């Protein structure tokens, strides 16, 4: 499994992904699921992947090769809009799944994968897309300001409650760590380290990245602090009284 | 979908279930999923159901009929232990799914359902079982002190963090409402009202029950209070600083 979140803020975009992959439950590895490309002052693209690792690694290699090749028509570094970037990635994703030999539709095969792609191209605002195994995609907007990949449920309640578009990057990273920590504590197939990538709107240069390991002092502060803070929050609510009934 | 939690405490057992059922997403109804039987001073049994509603209603009717019939060998009111009660319910469940016409194993059919059954029979401590569509079952213990049915993920992080076996019933009901509220806010197919049933260990008489509706003042206090408390908890943690990296 996997857990990734891409988040739109007024300040820009933040991406966080775990790095655990597993084949069955007894074959666990660490693999990067967060990738960036940029053309300085012109575009910054961030891609996160979930699903079959052979598929996602193949897709990342193919779109990287296409970006480096002379053929601009297939390059995510040359596409005129984020919409076209999502279309190019979706096409590679669908074809890759199809080549790996699907039964029925691409989306139902064992080789399926899902991708979040976000960034900014000069002339457009920052945009973010969720790309499905069928190659189609939907865009994030003010009403759906974040996309989750993988095991989204454990970490969703805190996102629902604490997300605001005016969060700073520092606040947003704290929020994401709480969301990831809730997931990691519940699902063995989601695990540290966590990769983070930030893109500040209108800069058109890549923002800071960071890998949080198990021993990272900030990660430990939040993971432990959240358990205590949530206990205090819980204790601050009035207990039920059977007299109410 | 459904969300139900059965919880073991030192004080006894607490059960909470939602009441929403749906056929597709446009046909939503309210149905009870929590049932009790008792023989005063001898046994108290509580059953919660999830899955195909035709199956679960049929199972509840069948075990109720068997309990009222003269044939003690099939009666949950006559079985010598909670283990035997779980076995009787599991048998009815498996046979019901099978009769409704499964393809392949009972567990994979569209008619599948899962049941939590807990209570106490004189001479035993309180016990609780999770009964699967195949008719087999597992027992709750100190290491797995609660069972969740249905959409368990949204509501699990708070259970993981705030559950303690020495919680009072009043604390436990507060905890369950927070867990249910997180689920209801994220999954349209889980909904109010919520049914609660309490069994105080060693009393061998049914404890209080309660139905929480949308307008219930305590439910509203917790649902609103939790959103605020969790915001404060979140704000109390140190923000990330890019200087750390």
Q: How far is CA B42 from CA A37, A200, B209, in A?
A: 70, 67, 19
- Per CB-CB distance under 8 Å, the chain A contacts of B239 are 168, 170-171, 173-174
Partner-chain contact A174 B234, CB within 8 Å: yes
Please tell me whether residue A197 adopts helix, strand or coil conformation. strand
**pLDDT at residue B108 in the model:** 63
Hey, is the C-beta of A236 within 8 angstroms of any chain B C-beta?
Answer: yes
- Per CB-CB distance under 8 Å, the chain B contacts of A170 are 239-242
Hey, is the C-beta of A208 within 8 angstroms of any chain B C-beta?
Answer: yes
**pLDDT at residue A103 in the model:** 59
To the nearest whole Å, the CA of B174 is away from the closest chain A CA by: 6
Percent of chain B exceeding pLDDT 70 equals: 96
Hey, is the C-beta of A148 within 8 angstroms of any chain B C-beta?
Answer: no
- Per CB-CB distance under 8 Å, the chain B contacts of A236 are 225, 229, 232
Alpha-carbon span A233 to B210, nearest angstrom:
25
Report which of B7, B4, B2, B3 is spatially closest to residue B166, judged by C-alpha positions: B7
Record the pTM. 0.90
Residue A244 clears pLDDT 80, i.e. is over it = no
**pLDDT at residue A104 in the model:** 62
- Mean pLDDT computed over every residue of chain B: 94
**pLDDT at residue B26 in the model:** 87
Mutate which of A236, A237, A238, A245 to test chain B, going by most B C-beta atoms within 10 A? A237
- Per CB-CB distance under 8 Å, the chain B contacts of A155 are 157
To the nearest whole Å, the CA of A119 is away from the closest chain B CA by: 20
Residue A14 clears pLDDT 70, i.e. is over it = yes
ipTM passes above 0.90: no
Partner-chain contact B232 A233, CB within 8 Å: yes
Mutate which of A187, A234, A236 to test chain B, going by most B C-beta atoms within 10 A? A234
SS (H, E, C) B85-99: HHHHHHHHHHHHHHH
**pLDDT at residue A3 in the model:** 97
Question: Mean of the pLDDT values across residues A214-242?
Answer: 94
- Per CB-CB distance under 8 Å, the chain A contacts of B167 are none
Query: Is omega for the bond preceding B173 within 30 degrees of 0, making it cis?
Result: no
Hey, is the C-beta of A243 within 8 angstroms of any chain B C-beta?
Answer: no
Question: Mean of the pLDDT values across residues B34-49?
Answer: 98
Domains and CATH numbers, chain A: 3-151+188-214 (3.60.20.10)
Closest CA in chain B for residue A178: B234
Alpha-carbon span B80 to B191, nearest angstrom:
36
Q: What is the pLDDT of residues B66-119, one digit of tens each?
A: 999 978 899 999 999 999 999 999 999 999 999 887 556 656 678 999 999 999
Q: Which residues pair with A221 in a beta bridge?
A: none
Q: Residue B186 is nearest to which of A156, A169, A170, comparing CB atoms?
A: A156
Residue A100 clears pLDDT 70, i.e. is over it = yes
Q: What is the pLDDT of residues A37-95, one digit of tens each?
A: 999 999 999 999 999 999 999 999 999 999 999 788 999 999 999 999 999 999 999 99
Hey, is the C-beta of B168 within 8 angstroms of any chain A C-beta?
Answer: yes
Question: Mean of the pLDDT values across residues A201-211?
Answer: 97
Hey, is the C-beta of B166 within 8 angstroms of any chain A C-beta?
Answer: no
Q: What is the pLDDT of residues B222-240, one digit of tens each?
A: 999 999 999 999 999 999 9
Report which of B119, B111, B123 is spatially closest to residue B52, judged by C-alpha positions: B111
Residue B245 clears pLDDT 60, i.e. is over it = no
Residue A120 clears pLDDT 90, i.e. is over it = yes
Characterize the bridge pairing of strands B209-212 and B194-200: antiparallel
Mutate which of B3, B16, B152, B157 to test chain A, going by most A C-beta atoms within 10 A? B157
Residue B144 clears pLDDT 60, i.e. is over it = yes
Q: What is the pLDDT of residues A124-168, one digit of tens each?
A: 999 999 999 999 999 999 999 999 999 999 999 999 999 999 999
Q: Which residue has the higher pLDDT, B155 or B71?
A: B155
**pLDDT at residue A206 in the model:** 97
Alpha-carbon span B8 to B129, nearest angstrom:
11
């Amino acid at each position: 499994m996997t857990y990734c979140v891409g988040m739109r803020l007024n300040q820009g975009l933040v991406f966080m992904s775990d790095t655990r992959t597993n084949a069955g439950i007894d074959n666990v590895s660490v693999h990067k699921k967060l990738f960036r490309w940029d053309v300085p002052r012109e575009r910054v693209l961030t891609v996160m992947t979930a699903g079959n690792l052979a598929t996602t690694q193949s897709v990342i290699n193919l779109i990287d090769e296409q970006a480096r090749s002379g053929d601009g028509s297939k390059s995510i570094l040359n596409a005129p809009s984020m919409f076209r970037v999502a279309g190019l990635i979706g096409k590679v994703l669908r074809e890759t799944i199809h080549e790996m030999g699907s039964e029925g539709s691409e989306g139902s095969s064992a080789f399926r994968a899902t991708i979040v792609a976000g960034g900014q191209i000069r002339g457009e605002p920052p945009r973010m897309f969720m790309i499905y195994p069928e190659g189609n995609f939907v865009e994030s907007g003010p009403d759906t300001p974040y996309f989750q990949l993988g095991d989204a449920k454990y970490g969703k309640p805190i996102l629902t409650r604490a997300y605001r578009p005016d969060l700073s990057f520092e606040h947003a990273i704290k929020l994401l760590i709480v969301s990831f920590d809730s997931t990691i504590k519940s699902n063995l197939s989601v695990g540290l380290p966590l990769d983070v990538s930030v893109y500040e709107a209108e800069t058109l240069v890549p923002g800071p990245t960071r890998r949080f390991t198990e021993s990272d002092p900030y990660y430990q502060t939040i993971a432990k602090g959240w358990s205590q803070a949530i206990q205090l929050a819980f204790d601050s609510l009035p207990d039920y009284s059977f007299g109410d009934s």
